[in-house]
Amino acid sequence: MIGTMQQSPTNLIDILNHAARWHGEQEIVTYSVEGDIRRSNYSKLHERTAQLAHALTDVGLKAGECLGTLAWNTDRHVETWYATAGLGVICHTINPRLPDAQLVFIINDAADKILFVDLSFVDIVERILPELKTVKQVVVMTDNEHMAGLNSDWICYEDFLDGQSNQYEWVSVDIHTPSSICYTSGTTGDPKGVVYSHYSNLIHTFMSVQKDAFNLGSGDNVLMIVPMFHANSWGLAYALPMVGAKMVLPGPHLGGADVCKLIQDEAVNTSAAVPTVWTMLLNHLSDTGETIPTMKDVIVGGSAVPKSMIETFKSKYDVNIIQAWGMTEMSPLGTLSRGRAIDGEETITDKCRQGRVFFGVDMKIVNDTGDELERDGKVFGRLMVKGPVVVDRYHNKDSSALEDGWFDTGDIATINAKGSMGITDRSKDVIKSGGEWISSVDMENAAISHPSVNLAACIGIYHPKWEERPLLVVMLHPENELDKPAILDVIANDFARWQLPNDIVVIENMPLTGTGKLDKKVLRARFEDHYTRT
Specify which residues 510 forms β-bridges with.
Answer: none
pTM (predicted TM-score): 0.85
CA distance to 216, 225, 299, 382, 429, per residue, from 236 (Å):
10, 10, 11, 28, 29
Task: Provide the pLDDT for residue 194.
Answer: 96
Which of 432, 436, 467, 532 is catalytic? The answer is 432
Active site residue 432: yes
Q: Which of 53, 63, 61 is nearest to 17 (CA)?
A: 53
Cβ contact 164:51 at 8 Å:
yes
Which residue among the candidates 47, 65, 329, 444 is catalytic per the annotation? 329
Q: Distance between alpha carbon 301 and the CA centroid of its chain, in Å?
A: 7
For residue 257, the model assigns a pLDDT of 97
Per-residue pLDDT, 514: 72
* 329 in active site: yes
290 is catalytic: no
| Contacts of residue 313, Cβ cutoff 8 Å, sequence gap at least 6 | 278, 282, 298, 319, 320, 321
Q: Which residues contact 491 (CB under 8 A, 6 or more apart)?
A: 443, 446, 447, 472, 500, 501
Task: Using DSSP bridges, classify how beta strands 112-117 and 137-140 pair: parallel, antiparallel or unpaired.
Answer: parallel
* Amino acid present at 158: E
From first to last of its 534 residues, the chain has per-residue pLDDT tens of 576 665 678 899 999 999 999 999 999 999 999 999 999 999 999 999 999 999 999 999 999 999 999 999 999 999 999 999 999 999 999 999 888 989 999 999 999 999 999 999 999 999 999 999 999 999 999 999 999 999 999 999 999 999 999 999 999 999 999 999 999 875 556 889 999 999 999 999 999 999 999 999 999 999 999 999 998 899 999 999 999 999 999 999 999 999 999 999 999 999 999 888 998 999 999 999 999 999 999 999 887 788 889 999 999 999 999 999 999 999 999 999 986 655 556 678 888 899 999 888 999 999 989 999 999 999 989 999 999 999 999 999 988 999 999 999 989 999 999 999 998 877 778 787 876 778 888 899 899 999 999 999 999 998 878 878 999 999 999 999 999 999 999 999 888 888 899 999 999 999 988 777 788 889 999 999 999 876
Indicate if 437 belongs to the active site.
Answer: yes
Catalytic residue among 25, 188, 374, 437: 437
Report the interhelical angle of 75-87 vs 42-58 (nearest 10°): 60
C-alpha 400/C-alpha 392 separation (Å) is 6
Q: Parallel, antiparallel, or unpaired for β 246-249 and 221-224?
A: parallel
Write down all domains in the chain, each with its CATH number in brackets. Answer: 1-26+34-196 (3.40.50.12780), 429-533 (3.30.300.30)
Spatial separation of the C-alpha atoms in residues 499 and 390, rounded to whole Å: 36
Could you report how far apart the first and last alpha carbons of the chain are, in Å?
A: 73
CA nearest to 301, candidates 320, 273, 280: 273
Q: Would you state the pLDDT for residue 184?
A: 87
